[in-house]
Amino acid sequence: MSRDVVGACPLDCPDACSWVITVDDDGKATKLRGNAEHPHTRGGLCVKVNPFLEFSRDPSRLLHPMKRVGAKGEGRFERITWDEALSTLAERLEHILATDGGDAIWPFDGTGTVGYLQGVAARHRFWNAIGAARHHASICSISGHVGISYTSGSAAGMDPEDVVHSRTILLWGSNTLTSNQHLWPFVEQARANGAHVVVIDPIRHRTAERADEHVALRAGTDAAFALGLCHVIRSAGVNDRFLTERTSGWDEFAESLDEYTPERVAEICDVPAEQIIALGRRIAAHGPTAIKLGQGMQRQRHGGQAARVVSCVPALTGDYTRRGGGLVYSTGDAYGLNSHKYSRTDLRPGNERTLVMTRLARDLRRTDPAVKALIVMGANPVVSNPGQRAVREELGRDDLFTVVFDAFQTDTADYADLLLPSTLQPEHTEVMDSFGHLYLNWNEPAIAPPGECVSKTELLRRLAKAMGMTEPALFASDLELAADLLDTPKWRDAGIGVDALRSAGFLRVPGTESYMPFAERFATASGLFEFASDRAEADGHGRLPSYRPPREAADDASGTFALISPASHFFVNSMFAGIGRNTERSGEPTVTVCAADAENNALPIGELVSVGNDRGSFIARLVVGTAARPGVAIAPKGAWTKSYVGGNSVNATTLERDSDMGAGAVYHDNRVTITRIAG
Ligand code: SF4
C-alpha cells in the first residue's frame, strides 16, 4: 500500500506551497503533487518544483562527505567518511575558537531553503553555543522591511487573499505569475468583480502583459512615482478623518508633495504625466487599493526609502483600514514563532560580531579578526552574491577553511575544503512559514535520505558531539526544536503544538481569520502611521519619505543600460539551476534589450555579446523583446556560472555595496555596456 505524506516546498518563494508525496511500499517517492486541501496554494505547485523528485535523484546529487584534493575553485574532491569529516571540522573549529575566537567563524546560511529547522529562517543554536559570528541575511528583502518599519511598523499590512475585495490592485515590482503565482487567482477573482490591475515595473514581464495597465517606469524611480501619486491623491481627495486620527506628520508630508507634480515626476520616471494623474485619481476614487510590493524595487541604493514612500499611498486614502486595502510586502511578521527559544541566544558567550551576507568579499577581508572558517549552508554565493570576482578571490584564499553543506556541487562548492551532503525537503523534518500567505506548513519527511546525506539539524548535533559539547539543548530532536518554535502565547493559547500541526499538515496563523492588522493601530511605537519619523531622521534617512536617485540605474548615459536581473521562470535563486534538465529548459543565458536600443547601438541580435562594466563582465546571447523598456537590459539571475560561456554570470557586474537601509543588496542599481564579441 502506498501512502501519502504532506510536506511543503522549501524554496525562497512567497507561496510556500503545501505538497503531497506518494511513497510506495519500498519507501520510494513515486509522485509529487500540490496539496489540494491547502486554502491558499490549492493543489498547485509550479514549473520550478514539479520535477523536484527528479532533481533529488539526479546523478549529480552529493551522497557522501568529500574533501578537496585539487586547487580551490577547481572542484576536485575525494570521498571520506563522516568520522573523518566531523573530526576534521571539529578540530578546525576548536583551534579557531582557541586562537581567534568565535568571531572568526562565519556560519553562512543562504536561501536555498527558507524553513526554520533546515533553512535560513532562524539561526541554529549550535552557532550561538560556540559564539560564532552572527550572520545578517541581507540578500533579499531587508531594505524594504526597514523602510516600511518607519511608517506603518510592519510589512504585513494586509492579508494578500483580501485582494478579492480590492477595486484597484497595484502589483509593484512583482512579477506575480512567475514569483508569486498562487496570488494570481485571487487577483483574477478581484478582476472578475471589476478590479483594475496595474503593474508598476521597468520590465514588461508576463504579469505586466496580463494586467489592465503597465507603468513601465525608469529603473530605480519608484519613490518618485509614488510621490507623484500622492501629489495627485492630495488634490483628488484624501481621507481627512483617517489622516487626523491615525497618522502623524501628514501636514509636513503633504507640503513636501508640492515639488512632485505629475510633470516633474513624468520626467524623472519617463512615464506620461497623464498616466500618473489617471492612476492617482483612480486610487482616490476607486478604492480600496491593495499594493503587493515585490522585492525587486528595493534592490537599489535607496531601496529602503522607496519602500517607505510606497507605503504612504494607502495612508492618504485610509485604505489600511478597509478590507481589500493596504500594502503587503511580507506576511512574515504575522507568524509570531519563538525564534529566540529555537536559537537559544542565551547560550552565546558574549561576543556579538555580525557579518553581512551581501558583503561576503568585503567582510572576508576584515582583520578584526579575520574569518578563518566559512560554513556555507544552503547558499551559493559565487552565483548569488554581488561582486562575483571579489567573492571568488576571497574564497580562493589558502587561509580560509571553507565547508559547503549542499545537495549538489555548486559553483561555490568548488571552493570547499570539505563538501558535505545534505538532505532535501522530502528527506527531513521542517517547519515553513510564508511571506505570501498566513498558513504555517509542516513538512514531514517522506523518504529516507539517500547515501550518507544528513539534515542540517543532524549535522550540527553530530558536530556538537564531535566537539565534546555537553549542553543538552544541542542534542534536541527535530520535534523538540519544532516545539520550541511553537512555544509562544499565540500558538499555545490556540492549543497548537507540534502534534496538532503535524497531523493537520498546515494551519492558519491563530487570530488571523479576519486579518486587518492596522484596523485599530499601526505597529509603530506611537501606534500611528508615521509620515514624519524622528527615528528615521536619527538613523540618517530623513524625517520625511522622499525620492533619492539610484546610484547608477537612472543615469541613462548614452550607450549604457540599467541591467536588471529578475527571477528566472525555471528556478528560484540558483536552486537546481545547474541540474541537467533545468539548464536545458531554461536555455542558454540571454540579455534582452528593446529593438530601438539594439538598432541605435548597432547590437548584433541573436549573437553572443559581452555585458559588463569596470566590475566585470559576462557573455550572453542578445535577444530583442518588448519586455525591456528603452535603456534597460534584462538578464535573469540564478544560472550557475558553469552555464555561461566564459564562466562568469550576471553578478560579475553587480556591486557589493549596501543599500540605504539594513545593508541590503543593490543588484538592480547596475549600469553596463553591451558590446560585440570580437572575431
Ligand atoms: S517555488 Fe513557489 S510556487 Fe513553486 S512550488 Fe515552491 S512555493 Fe510553490
> Tell me: the pLDDT tens digits for 218-254?
999 999 999 999 999 999 999 999 999 999 999 999 9
Greatest pairwise CA separation for the chain in angstroms: 71
Give the Cα separation of 304 and 597 in Å (integer). 30
Q: What is the pLDDT of residue 277?
A: 98
Ligand 1, atom 4, lies closest to the CA of: 46
Confidence category of residue 559, pLDDT binned at 50, 70, 90:
confident
Residue 1 CA to ligand 1 centre (angstroms): 28
pLDDT value at residue 315 = 98
Q: Say which DSSP state 315 is in.
A: H
**Nearest one of 247, 339, 296 to 144, comparing CA atoms:** 296
Atom of ligand 1 nearest to the CA of 182: 3
- Classified as helix, coil or strand, 541 is coil
Q: Over the stretch 580-594, which tens digit does the pLDDT of each residue have?
A: 888 889 999 999 999
Note the pLDDT tens digit of each residue in 119-166.
999 999 999 999 999 999 999 999 999 999 999 999 999 999 999 999
pLDDT at 556: 74
Ligand 1 centre and the CA of 572: distance in Å? 9
Kindly report the protein residue whose alpha carbon is nearest to atom 6 of ligand 1: 9
User: Pocket of ligand 1, candidates 9, 174, 206: which has the most ligand atoms within 8 Å of its Cβ, to mutate?
Assistant: 9
Q: 552 C-alpha vs ligand 1 centroid, how far in Å?
A: 32
pLDDT at 679 over 70: no
Asked whether residue 428 carries a pLDDT value surpassing 80, the answer given is: yes
**308 vs 150: CA distance, rounded Å:** 7
Atom of ligand 1 nearest to the CA of 50: 5
pLDDT, tens only, 506-540: 999 999 999 999 999 999 999 999 999 999 999 99
Judged against a pLDDT cut of 80, whether residue 408 lies above it is answered with yes
Closest approach atom of ligand 1 to CA 19: 5
The set of cell numbers assigned to 334 is 504575522
Model pLDDT, residue 219: 94
8 A C-beta contact, residue 105 and residue 96: yes
Query: Of 293, 245, 172, 168, which Cα lies nearest the Cα of 522?
Result: 245
Which residues line the pocket of ligand 1, CB cutoff 6 A?
9, 11, 13, 15-17, 45-46, 48-49, 181, 572
pLDDT (0 to 100) of residue 30: 98
Mean pLDDT of 374-400: 97
**pLDDT tens digits, 327-338:** 999 999 999 999
Query: Could you identify the atom of ligand 1 that is nearest to the CA of residue 572?
Result: 1
Average pLDDT over residues 610-628: 97
Share of the chain above pLDDT 70, in %: 100
Half-sphere exposure in the Cβ direction for 45 (13 Å, CA):
24
* Beta strands 590-593 and 560-564, pairing class: unpaired
pLDDT the model gives residue 218: 95
Q: What backbone phi and psi angles, to 5 degrees, belong to 276?
A: -65, -45
Find the DSSP H helices in 313-359: 313-317, 339-343
Do 317 and 231 touch, CB atoms closer than 8 A?
A: no
Q: Which atom of ligand 1 lies nearest, measured to the CA of 34? A: 5
Q: By C-alpha distance, which of 55, 36, 37, 45 is closest to 16?
A: 45
pLDDT higher than 80, residue 304: yes
Q: What is the pLDDT of residues 266-300, one digit of tens each?
A: 999 999 999 999 999 999 999 999 999 999 999 99
- In the reported structure, the alpha carbon of residue 7 is separated from the centroid of ligand 1 by a whole-number distance in angstroms of 12
pLDDT attached to residue 678: 76
pLDDT the model gives residue 402: 98
Cα R_g (the chain), whole angstroms: 25
Q: Measured between alpha carbons, how far is residue 16 from residues 12, 342, 432, 598 in Å?
A: 8, 21, 7, 39
β-partners of residue 336 are: none
Residue 383: the pLDDT is 97
Contact 116, 431 (CB under 8 A): yes
Region at 328 (left for phi over 0; alpha for psi -120 to 50; beta for the rest): beta
Contact present, 323 and 239 (Cβ < 8 Å): no
For the CA of 52, the closest atom of ligand 1 is: 5
Indicate the angle between helix axes 82-99 and 456-466, nearest 10 degrees. 70
Mean pLDDT of 542-570: 90
Evaluate if residue 70 carries a pLDDT over 90.
yes
- Residue 351's pLDDT is what? 83
Our mutation pick for probing the ligand 1 site, out of 433, 435, 572, counting the most ligand atoms within 8 A of Cβ, is 572
Judge whether 504 and 326 are in contact, CB under 8 Å: no
* Nearest by Cα to 326 from 161, 191, 193: 161
pLDDT of 534: 97
The number of angstroms, rounded, from the C-alpha of 511 to the middle of its chain's C-alpha atoms is 26
CA of 573 to the centre of ligand 1 (A): 12
Specify the amino acid at residue 616: G
72-75: long-range pairs with CB below 8 Å, 24+: 72/395, 72/396, 72/397, 72/398, 72/402, 72/414, 72/415, 73/392, 73/395, 73/396, 73/414, 73/415, 74/414, 75/409, 75/413, 75/414
Nearest to 637 by CA among 586, 585, 584, 594: 586
- Rounded to the nearest whole angstrom, what is the distance from the C-alpha of residue 52 to the centroid of ligand 1? 11
- Residue with the smallest CA separation from ligand 1 atom 7 is 16
Q: How confident is the model at residue 394 (pLDDT cuts 50, 70, 90)?
A: very high
Per-residue pLDDT band for 555 (boundaries 50, 70, 90) equals confident
49, 437, 582: residue to mutate for ligand 1 pocket, most atoms within 8 A of CB: 49
Q: Which atom of ligand 1 is nearest to the CA of 181?
A: 3
- Residues 6 or more apart whose Cβ sits within 8 Å of residue 79: 64, 65, 66
Instruction: Give me the mean pLDDT over the 446-472 stretch.
Output: 98
Mean of per-residue pLDDT scores for the chain: 96
Q: How far does residue 612's CA lie from ligand 1's centre (Å)?
A: 32
Using the mean position of ligand 1's atoms as its centre, give its distance from the Cα of residue 638 in Å: 16
Looking at residue 557, its pLDDT comes to 75
Side-by-side strand order, sheet with 289-293: 213-215, 196-200, 168-172, 289-293, 326-328
